[in-house]
Copies of this chain bind each other. A is one copy, B any other.
Amino acid sequence: MSSFKGRFTYSVDNKGRVALPAKLRKSVSNATNENFIILRGFERCLYIYPQDEWNKLEESIRGLTFSDAQHRFFSRTLLGWATDCQLDSQQRVTLSQEHLDYAGIKNEVLILGVLERIELWDPAIYQEYEKNQPATYETVVERVLKP
């Protein structure tokens, strides 16, 4: 079970490559064999799942009823934009142009560790997202840290 955490601002070179922060790599279980799945996330960002965490997600998608039109739409969208990838010898992932465009990422990327997944954001878009949230850091902490 992964437990990614932390916030990093890394650069994207002109080949669309992004290094995975060493601290995040340490949280990846070895079973995953450096195999990752990249897909469109919610709110204009990209999700990166290590293989083992993805498998769980895939199971729950399989559980969706085939006969429901919305379920079909959901699966098509999710899987249609998902790609396998493995790290190169420098521990980097390469993002496709479509993925970069979807998330609006250019030269810089904000990398967030969110337990079972890693999120990639354009820094400006994330700032905008944060600004539009009704909750502040303190209300979040209060809600989550108090049982």
Contacts and interface: CB of A to CB of B under 8 A. Distances in A.
Contact of A42 (B26, B57, B119, B141): B141
Copy number of this protein in the oligomer?
Answer: 2
B42 A69 contact: yes
* Residue from the set A27, A133, A135, A144 with the largest chain B CB neighbour count within 10 Å: A144
A141 B45 CA distance: 13
B60 A144 contact: yes
Interface of A: 3-7, 23, 26-27, 37, 40-43, 57-58, 60-62, 64, 69-70, 72-84, 98, 112-115, 119, 130, 133, 135, 137-138, 140-145, 147
Given A43-B72, A57-B145, A6 B82 contact: yes
B5 A79 contact: yes
Contacts of A72: 42-43
14 contacts: A5-B83, A7-B80, A23-B83, A27-B84, A41-B141, A42-B69, A42-B142, A57-B145, A58-B115, A60-B147, A61-B115, A73-B133, A76-B114, A79-B115
Given A6-B80, A79-B4, A119-B76, A135 B70 contact: yes
Contacts of A77: 130, 137, 140
A80 B113 contact: yes
A140 B69 contact: no
